[in-house]
Amino acid sequence: MQVHGLGTLLNMATVAVGATVGVLLGARLPERMRVTVMQGLGLFTIFLGVREATSTHDALLLLGALLVGGVFGEALRLEDRLAAAGAFIERRSGRAPDPDVPELTSGDGEPGHSTFVQGFLVSSLVFCVGPLTILGSLQDGLRGDIDLLATKSALDGFAALAFASALGWGVLASVATVAVVQGGITAAATLLDGILTDRMVDEMSAVGGLLLVGIGLRLLAIAEIRVASFLPGIVLAPVLVAVFAS
């Protein structure tokens, strides 16, 4: 008997452990080291995003998924809703802003969200838009195979440690996002059996790669890209493949 969802539970556990250790470690680091850690994460995230974005077979299709997805995302106010969810968790947890942790700013130098919300936003997106999220959750849902999600869990655990050392407890709150997104893909996978092709998955991964680039630019405080607003592009990518590339 196949048991589905174990990969997501494992991923949630490693993120929780990594984030907790990261917060405890980060409290002992001076501000300049925290900033350097965050910049290093930004550079590495851009590298990962560029690598995955090149998996596209058609740049115009990738552009279409990104732009149309962005329109839908803004209509649904996904970025604002995700930020509001982070703020809600922050209030419910009773955590006040940490004066020792530097606040992130928008690309024009204006104050951004609290560090807790930024940690929640950034880590939620990093943990949920990459190709391992898509492929691993599909494999878990279709065949009960958690090998990819086990690999992702190990990587996310270390990433959570690094993020939390710079951004604090908001990273731990992203466990909820991992549960909803990965759990949702796993649950829906049985309905997609025989529908998704390798080409469709490649284009979904390519859109996710571009979103990782946006996250990297955000971590480097180069541009406050509303990455969450582009999330519908991941769903639209296989639809565009079916319409224009079948």
pLDDT in tens, the chain (246 residues): 567 788 999 999 999 999 999 999 887 878 888 788 888 888 988 998 898 899 899 999 999 999 999 999 999 999 999 888 888 888 887 655 444 444 444 444 444 567 889 899 989 988 988 778 888 888 888 778 888 899 899 889 988 998 898 888 999 999 999 999 999 988 887 777 778 888 888 898 899 889 989 988 988 889 888 998 999 998 899 999 999 986
Sequence letter at residue 58: D
**How many folded domains does the chain comprise?**
1
174 in a domain, yes or no?
Answer: yes
53 in a domain, yes or no?
Answer: yes
Whether 189 contacts 14, CB under 8 Å:
no
Query: How high is the pLDDT of residue 101?
Result: 41
Q: Note the pTM of the prediction, 2 decimals.
A: 0.78
Query: How high is the pLDDT of residue 113?
Result: 61
160 in a domain, yes or no?
Answer: yes
1 in a domain, yes or no?
Answer: no
159 in a domain, yes or no?
Answer: yes
232 in a domain, yes or no?
Answer: yes
146 in a domain, yes or no?
Answer: yes
Q: The domain containing residue 215 runs over which residues?
A: 6-244
